[in-house]
Amino acid sequence: MQIAFAPDELRTVLQPLRVQGGTTEIIRGIAALGEAVPGDLSFLSNPKYRPDVPGSKASVVLLPESYQGEPGPNQMYLRVANTSVAVAQLCTRLEQAMWPRPEAGVHPSAVVDPAAVVAATATIGPLCVVEAGAKIGERCYLQAQNFIGRGARVGDDCWLMAGSLVATECVLGDRVRLQPGAIVGADGFGYDFLQGKHVKIPQVGTVVLGDDVEIGANTTLDRARFSSTYIGEGSKLDNLVQVGHNVKMGKHCLIVSQAGIAGSTTLADYVVLGGQVGVAGHLELGKGVQVGAQAGINTSWPAGTTLRGTPAMPYMDEQRITVLRNRLPDLFKRVAELEKKLG
Amino acid sequence: MQIAFAPDELRTVLQPLRVQGGTTEIIRGIAALGEAVPGDLSFLSNPKYRPDVPGSKASVVLLPESYQGEPGPNQMYLRVANTSVAVAQLCTRLEQAMWPRPEAGVHPSAVVDPAAVVAATATIGPLCVVEAGAKIGERCYLQAQNFIGRGARVGDDCWLMAGSLVATECVLGDRVRLQPGAIVGADGFGYDFLQGKHVKIPQVGTVVLGDDVEIGANTTLDRARFSSTYIGEGSKLDNLVQVGHNVKMGKHCLIVSQAGIAGSTTLADYVVLGGQVGVAGHLELGKGVQVGAQAGINTSWPAGTTLRGTPAMPYMDEQRITVLRNRLPDLFKRVAELEKKLG
Amino acid sequence: MQIAFAPDELRTVLQPLRVQGGTTEIIRGIAALGEAVPGDLSFLSNPKYRPDVPGSKASVVLLPESYQGEPGPNQMYLRVANTSVAVAQLCTRLEQAMWPRPEAGVHPSAVVDPAAVVAATATIGPLCVVEAGAKIGERCYLQAQNFIGRGARVGDDCWLMAGSLVATECVLGDRVRLQPGAIVGADGFGYDFLQGKHVKIPQVGTVVLGDDVEIGANTTLDRARFSSTYIGEGSKLDNLVQVGHNVKMGKHCLIVSQAGIAGSTTLADYVVLGGQVGVAGHLELGKGVQVGAQAGINTSWPAGTTLRGTPAMPYMDEQRITVLRNRLPDLFKRVAELEKKLG
């Protein structure tokens, strides 16, 4: 990173309760206590890492007041009320340095249709395409090479990283983030089988993302057959996730990488799907359902269920069966023994 | 959607057998009977939704002649011979409105090598790259930001959505559709292990897609080591599918999202792979083999087999074993009981 | 392919020990013995294909001296010391023809920030974006439509195929290859759950790739929360792989398509993950661990372990349990039999 904080600057940003020692190093990175090298800042938030503090090579260490100890040579301890909050402050500062708010305006290499509406405060980066009828809201940042299709609407304060795409007529709420390569509005996968051929069913619906949704890199969201595929406010999707047509996802769901949700399935609020989970089509998962990694869901489940396995079942059942399955070699022996006894 | 049908227009498009009632609403969406709001059109095709008709808020409802009932206030019933066909007609009309046939020609921002051949009737959208020796057929539509590599050939009437890519020397038949981010012709994954290192084996084959193939968003098709990876006529691949080098896929296959097919495997015609299925390399799946979601195939199977599970086995066997596995707690108890009796 | 080798040219390239027969065909493809047509070159490397030689329609066949036989009409046999090496020589030649070293320089349609540093010997293809502070090394080839973010560094002799992306501050070693759509440096998936909402944790670390790393098409590598996600020298990742934030991967690993590695997991050198494998977060896999396709790893494993299944266990254990599981129908019968005997 080309980030550089002088020790004095850190004191200004973090407003520590107390300072011990000092360092001549410029801070160029953040690292765990045990991995840090001179020039790094580190911190103690989880008490189990307390023994790593004295030997840490970090030039600056953020510590709670409760920690007992003195810095080494050319090392500075900053005592703060809450180390996690202090690290977050610093990371936000770093984030602003890494992705500075670009100036508003349309890059001359971007291709913006005259019939598109771009807010004066928005930034359209190099080599973006914005088609006719599209609307880009206030303070949006399209990083580069984005595609916004005909009639699509992007709310205010959205960040679209390079190469992410919003297809025809799709709608983004406010503060939506698309990671690179995210695709909002591919065609749903629907065909009629007629005379030995799969004939495409037109997919003329859209995708609608609520406010504060984040979509991971190369994740694909299919447009509805008609009406909308919907992702509720505050839901976060990781990379390489697949969302089929007409899926309705509630608010504040977490969908971990490479999970897939087949068409017309409904997820209530606060559902969590682990990595590589598959959910079949036309199902309903109730509020707060939690699904372990790689599970396969082939039926609906009520609110609050914790699921695991393929086909998925409640965690305790699955756990018990997995344990017994692993004792099969023993069971076969016991049965053979019984058979011997009974002649 | 910005789609708007006046009621009269609908009558012209759909040519109903009979009209009941009427509406002053402009139709701006299509929705299921139970979800529709005023301004929507709805329809009854599956008889199980018959009870939803009387309460539907749809302004226009497409119904078969056999349905008994009268529209509500400001509601129009259109009686048609086949509601599914009528909806399809309407969707095709909507599709044409959402993705109107663009004018032929090369967008001034596209970079087309002078040694490429682009049909006069084709449309090359903004910021596309077409390398030397590539050929683009009649009436093709490259939406935007597509890449067509050296010597690649795209047949007639193909639709390449934004950001899809056809790499060097790869070949598309006629009427092929690539969804956004689809990649035709990445390198196959092949290395020789020499002196502790993986040394790349050049991948100098191509990918060939038959007519009427559709490739989903962010799906990746690897070029052959030499000769061709092949996808047969009419096969449809969903999003995020992986096809390894030298795979040969027959005609009219359906490959659901996130499935993966390893190198040199052959699928006959009409094979169906469910979501997240994995097929190992160098296998053969016969005509019409059907594989349930998340299954893992590690051996070849003859025509007509229905498979499930990992490692996959015929559906009935897998079903029986899954049932018995779930009865393991009971079996352990029964064996313990027998042991007690036998002392 | 538009590749064409006259028979004489082949003799020059391959320097055969001995030539038998001859052909008037121009060689336009390479194919397996049983699949070759006139105009193809074929070869015998695996002895099990020896019976395919006499009937092969290939115009040119590469053979070891040990093979006994005569070419057919209009067919040429070239006897070489090592057919695999000869094929590799030819493929390298073909590779150079398919992807000729482009001339150095920046395409006029590329958008390169004046504050970026591009080596004079590098090629920046059409419609690439190189942001401020980025460095592109000697002889690099950015094919087209690539994005290189602020402060990112690309080493010497890297090949970035069309549409691949290196985000802000990420670092590539020398001779790195990115397949189309590969994403280096998406945000890690990290949120704090505060007052019912998922609040984004800034992801201000980077991704660092060692020398000779290859990243597959549409594969996604997440940047670290801070410090770096790391891929060791010589490791090769297939298509659609997910690597979470803060993963540390050793040297010369092979990660097959659609595998996923969750955050903060460490892989030592020479680890092999099969297709669709999932590895949970915060684990350690020792040197040379090998994991079968679709396995799910939920605990750490020492060097040299071969794993299979979900949850994964050592191969022999998993094999035994799978066999017994498939004998469950028999076991249930045997227990019922015992119960009958015991009344």
Q: What ipTM describes this predicted complex? A: 0.92
Closest CA to A77 of A140, A18, A157: A18
Amino acid (one-letter) located at C246: N
Q: How many domains does chain B have?
A: 2
Greatest pairwise CA separation for chain C in angstroms: 90
Cβ contact, residue pair B125, A127, below 8 Å: no
Rg (CA), chain A: 26
DSSP H helix total and E strand total for chain B: 4, 38
Q: What tens digit of pLDDT does each residue of A18-32 get?
A: 999 999 999 888 888
Closest CA to C255 of C234, C269, C267, C241: C241
Q: For helices C315-326 and B315-326, what crossing angle results, to 10°?
A: 100
Q: Which of B35, B65, B98 is the last residue in one of the domains?
A: B98
Omega cis (within 30) before A180: no
Q: For C214-224, what is the mean pLDDT?
A: 98
Residue A331 in domain: no
Q: What tens digit of pLDDT does each residue of B203-262 get?
A: 999 999 999 999 999 999 999 998 899 999 999 999 999 999 999 999 999 999 999 999
Give the residue from chain B lying closest to C28, CA to CA: B227
Structure tokens at B203: 């991948």
Range of the domain at C47: 7-98
Residue C323 in domain: no
CB B59 within 8 A of CB B71: no
Inform me whether the pLDDT recorded for C192 exceeds 60: yes
Residue A220 in domain: yes
Q: Which of C98, C115, C145 is the last residue in one of the domains?
A: C98
> Rounded to whole angstroms, how far apart are CA atoms C328 and A331?
11
Q: Supply φ then ψ for residue B73, to 5 degrees.
A: -65, 145
Co-location of A35 and A181 in the same domain:
no
Q: What is the DSSP letter of B197?
A: E
Q: What tens digit of pLDDT does each residue of B272-329 get?
A: 999 999 999 999 999 999 999 999 999 999 999 999 999 999 999 999 999 999 999 9
Give the residue from chain A lying closest to B35, CA to CA: A227
Structure tokens at A173: 């709420």
CB A215 within 8 A of CB A178: yes
Co-location of C200 and C67 in the same domain:
no
> Rounded to whole angstroms, how far apart are CA atoms B285 and C302?
37
Residue B332 in domain: no
Residue C277 in domain: yes
Name residue, tokens 């990379």.
Answer: A239
Cβ contact, residue pair C327, A332, below 8 Å: yes
Inform me whether the pLDDT recorded for A175 exceeds 60: yes
Inform me whether the pLDDT recorded for C3 exceeds 90: no
Q: What tens digit of pLDDT does each residue of B32-49 get?
A: 899 899 999 999 988 889
Co-location of B243 and B146 in the same domain:
yes
CATH number, domain of C300, equals 2.160.10.10
C29-30/B177-178 β-pairing: unpaired
In chain B, residues with a C-beta closer than 8 Å to the C-beta of C145 are: 127, 129, 145, 147
Co-location of B111 and B254 in the same domain:
yes
Among candidates C149, C198, C226 on the partner chain, residue whose Cβ is nearest the Cβ of A236: C198
CB C206 within 8 A of CB C222: no
Structure tokens at B341: 């009796």
C-contacting chains (≥3 CB pairs under 8 Å): A, B
**Active site positions of B, annotated:** 245
Percent of chain B with pLDDT over 90: 84
Return the pLDDT at B32: 87
Whole-model pTM: value is 0.94
B202 CA: distance to closest CA in chain C (Å): 6
Co-location of A139 and A114 in the same domain:
yes
Give residue C5's pLDDT band: very low, low, confident or very high (50, 70, 90): confident
Q: Which of A81, A98, A115 is the last residue in one of the domains?
A: A98
Co-location of C66 and C94 in the same domain:
yes
In chain B, residues with a C-beta closer than 8 Å to the C-beta of C212 are: 197
Q: For helices B328-342 and A328-341, what crossing angle results, to 10°?
A: 30
Q: What tens digit of pLDDT does each residue of C146-177 get?
A: 999 999 999 999 999 999 999 999 999 999 99
Return the pLDDT at C246: 96
Closest CA to C178 of B205, B183, B214: B183
> Rounded to whole angstroms, how far apart are CA atoms C310 and A313?
15
Cβ contact, residue pair A320, B329, below 8 Å: yes
CB C205 within 8 A of CB A218: no
Q: What is the DSSP string of B37-61?
A: -TTEEEE--SGGGGGGTTT---SEE
CB atoms within 10 A of CB B160: 31
Residue A70 in domain: yes
In chain C, residues with a C-beta closer than 8 Å to the C-beta of A2 are: 133, 151, 169
Give residue C1's pLDDT band: very low, low, confident or very high (50, 70, 90): very low
In chain A, residues with a C-beta closer than 8 Å to the C-beta of C222 are: 217, 239
Give residue A2's pLDDT band: very low, low, confident or very high (50, 70, 90): low
Inform me whether the pLDDT recorded for A88 exceeds 50: yes
Return the pLDDT at B1: 45
Closest CA to A145 of A162, A161, A132: A162
Q: For helices C328-342 and C315-326, what crossing angle results, to 10°?
A: 60
> Rounded to whole angstroms, how far apart are CA atoms A221 and A181?
12
Co-location of B62 and B115 in the same domain:
no
Give the residue from chain B lying closest to A162, CA to CA: B163
Backbone φ/ψ region at C218: left (φ over 0), alpha (ψ -120 to 50), beta? left
Return the pLDDT at C2: 54
Amino acid (one-letter) located at A28: R
Return the pLDDT at A1: 45
Q: Give the strand order in the sheet containing A135-136.
A: A117-118, A135-136, A153-154, A171-172, A206-209, A228-231, A248-249, A266-267, A284-285
**Catalytic residue at C107?**
no
Among candidates C95, C216, C218 on the partner chain, residue whose Cβ is nearest the Cβ of B189: C216
Name residue, tokens 């092979």.
Answer: C254
In chain B, residues with a C-beta closer than 8 Å to the C-beta of C337 are: none
Return the pLDDT at A9: 86
Return the pLDDT at C93: 84
Give residue C92's pLDDT band: very low, low, confident or very high (50, 70, 90): confident
Q: For A124-134, what is the mean pLDDT?
A: 98
Closest CA to A305 of A323, A287, A279: A287
Give the residue from chain C lying closest to B163, CA to CA: C163
CB A69 within 8 A of CB A51: no
Return the pLDDT at A155: 98
Co-location of C88 and C25 in the same domain:
yes
> Rounded to whole angstroms, how far apart are CA atoms C296 and C315?
13
Residue B189 in domain: yes
> Rounded to whole angstroms, how far apart are CA atoms B8 and B152?
47
CB atoms within 10 A of CB B79: 18
Q: Which range scores top for mean pLDDT: A72-86, B123-137, C20-34?
A: B123-137
Inform me whether the pLDDT recorded for A45 exceeds 90: no
Q: For C110-127, what is the mean pLDDT?
A: 98
Inform me whether the pLDDT recorded for B167 exceeds 70: yes
> Rounded to whole angstroms, how far apart are CA atoms C56 and C44?
11
Among candidates B183, B202, B226 on the partner chain, residue whose Cβ is nearest the Cβ of C180: B183
C341 CA: distance to closest CA in chain B (Å): 10
Co-location of C147 and C70 in the same domain:
no
Q: For A241-254, what is the mean pLDDT?
A: 98
Inform me whether the pLDDT recorded for A283 exceeds 80: yes
Co-location of B110 and B80 in the same domain:
no
Co-location of B76 and B192 in the same domain:
no
Q: Using the CB atoms, write b or e for A178-210: b if 16+ within 10 Å.
A: bbbbbbbbbbbbbeeeeeeebebbbbbbbbbbb
Cβ contact, residue pair B260, C275, below 8 Å: yes
Co-location of C47 and C150 in the same domain:
no
Inform me whether the pLDDT recorded for B156 exceeds 80: yes
CB C99 within 8 A of CB C81: no
Among candidates B129, B244, B342 on the partner chain, residue whose Cβ is nearest the Cβ of C127: B129
Q: What is the DSSP letter of C303?
A: T
**Mutant choice from A166, A183, A337 vs B, greatest count of B C-beta within 10 A:** A183
> Rounded to whole angstroms, how far apart are CA atoms A209 and A211?
7
In chain C, residues with a C-beta closer than 8 Å to the C-beta of A236 are: 189, 191, 198
Rg (CA), chain C: 26
Residue B52 in domain: yes
> Rounded to whole angstroms, how far apart are CA atoms C3 and B300?
34
Q: What is the dihedral of CA B32, B34, B38, B41, to 10 degrees?
A: 20
> Rounded to whole angstroms, how far apart are CA atoms C256 and C237?
6
Give residue C258's pLDDT band: very low, low, confident or very high (50, 70, 90): very high
Kind and range of the H or E element at A341? helix A328-341
Q: Give the strand order in the sheet containing B60-64.
A: B18-21, B76-80, B60-64, B40-43, B29-30
SS3 label, residue C193: strand
CATH number, domain of C31, equals 3.40.1390.10
Structure tokens at B273: 């792979």
Q: What tens digit of pLDDT does each residue of C270-328 get?
A: 999 999 999 999 999 999 999 999 999 999 999 999 999 999 999 999 999 999 999 99
